[in-house]
Amino acid sequence: MAVKITVQPFGEYEGKQVNKYTITGDSGMQVGVINYGATITNIIIPDKNGSLADIVLGFESLSGYINAGDYYFGGVCGRYANRIANASFMINGSEYKLAGNNGISCLHGGFKGFDKVYWDAEILSDGNGVTFMYNSKDGEEGFPGNMKVAVSYRLVRNALHIEYTATTDKATPVNLTSHCYFNLSGSDDLNIKEHELSLNADYFVEVGTDNIPTGNLVEVLNTQLDFRETKKLSSNLNGYDQTWVLKNNNGKLMEAAKLFHSKSGREMTVLTTKPGIHFYNGYHLKGNYPGTKKGKDYQQYAGLCLEAQHFPDSPNHSNFPNTVLAPGEVYNHKTIYSFEHLNKN
């Protein structure tokens, strides 16, 4: 498959030029990514009739992403995606205090997480994607260690492959994910109520006050969090903001979720090496974001996130999968968003 990459200026941030890298495949699928936050700005795919549309929420210019604040439109969340309780954790007997940007907790890396920094970029040698690189300094937002991180976006046939790698010179927790808001209608529908979702999970991470895990992993059986069979989201529009425990996860690539929109025929399958999938249905979206694509009003439920990641607050729960990266180790995870255009009727 021939992949074409074009590079265009997309604005300036902290005195550095931000470029937009547009990756286009033979089928017409396009992925746009920028240096600011290693952000995905566009995923353009066909519907069942072959009509192309952009299926992620975003903005026409860089200022839109900057001014959107803590809504993380398309950005890479880190150094630790999701929440860390009381903005603190212990490693080897030492306590580390983080930025408390979500009440008394740390969310998505702090006040200036990886979604709000400038990343260096280079086109991959095989020509099918782009790698973004960032050096996170020891003490940044309170996290220990100088950490080198890279995020690669590749277009392989009808799928976006994301690979995350990191190394550190001091033990530190790491949890990286993409925070895309998906709307498979291509924004023809201004909410995700007609989307159908299934999750490959028998358990979810129980949370208490302020969405902080209790430490318990609870069966989805007989709960509103049971997505083992496909559910239309209009059947229950509670404020989903939860992490599910993926079945049989041993660090190998596996299916985590499937999302379908019948009117367009677009279907997205999420595969990942990570132990969890976080489903957020966009109930905190408030609208009135300046500079949105085609002036769309991103109100509550305008898009949803399916974030492949480790469990929230893992550094404070010894029974959760380990998220501490030690010197000499390599953090390496992959997530794939694969797309089809189907007519299931």
Q: Are strands 276-280 and 147-156 parallel, antiparallel or unpaired?
A: unpaired
What is the rounded CA–CA span in Å between residue 78 and residue 84?
12
What is the rounded CA–CA span in Å between residue 179 and residue 174?
16
Q: What is the pLDDT of residue 344?
A: 64
Partnered with residue 197 across adjacent β-strands are: 231, 259
Instruction: Give the 3-state secondary structure percentages of the chain, helix then strand then coil, rounded to 5.
Output: 10, 45, 45
Which helix (H) or strand (E) element contains residue 62? helix 62-67
Answer whether 309's CB lies under 8 Å from 243's CB: yes
Q: What is the pLDDT of residue 119?
A: 98
Answer whether 66's CB lies under 8 Å from 37's CB: no
Residues recognised as catalytic: 179, 307
Q: What is the pLDDT of residue 189?
A: 81
What's the pLDDT tens digit per position in 50-87?
Answer: 999 999 999 999 999 999 989 999 999 999 999 999 99
Q: What is the pLDDT of residue 187?
A: 73
What's the pLDDT tens digit per position in 170-215?
Answer: 999 999 999 999 999 997 788 999 999 999 999 999 999 889 999 9
Q: What is the pLDDT of residue 77?
A: 98
DSSP letters, 159-195, are EEEEEEEEEESS-EE-B-EE-PPB-TT-SSSSSSTTE
Q: What is the pLDDT of residue 1?
A: 58
Which helix (H) or strand (E) element contains residue 65? helix 62-67
Which helix (H) or strand (E) element contains residue 166? strand 159-168
What's the pLDDT tens digit per position in 230-277?
Answer: 999 988 877 899 999 999 778 899 999 999 999 999 999 999 999 999
Q: What is the pLDDT of residue 308?
A: 98
Q: How sure is the predictor about 345, in pLDDT bands with cuts at 50, 70 and 90?
A: low
CA 315 to chain centre: 20
Instruction: Write the single-letter amino acid at 325.
Output: L
Q: What is the pLDDT of residue 341?
A: 83
Give the residue extent of every domain in the chain: 4-341
Give the mean model confidence (pLDDT) for residues 316-322.
97
The architecture in CATH of the region 4-341 reads: Distorted Sandwich (2.70)
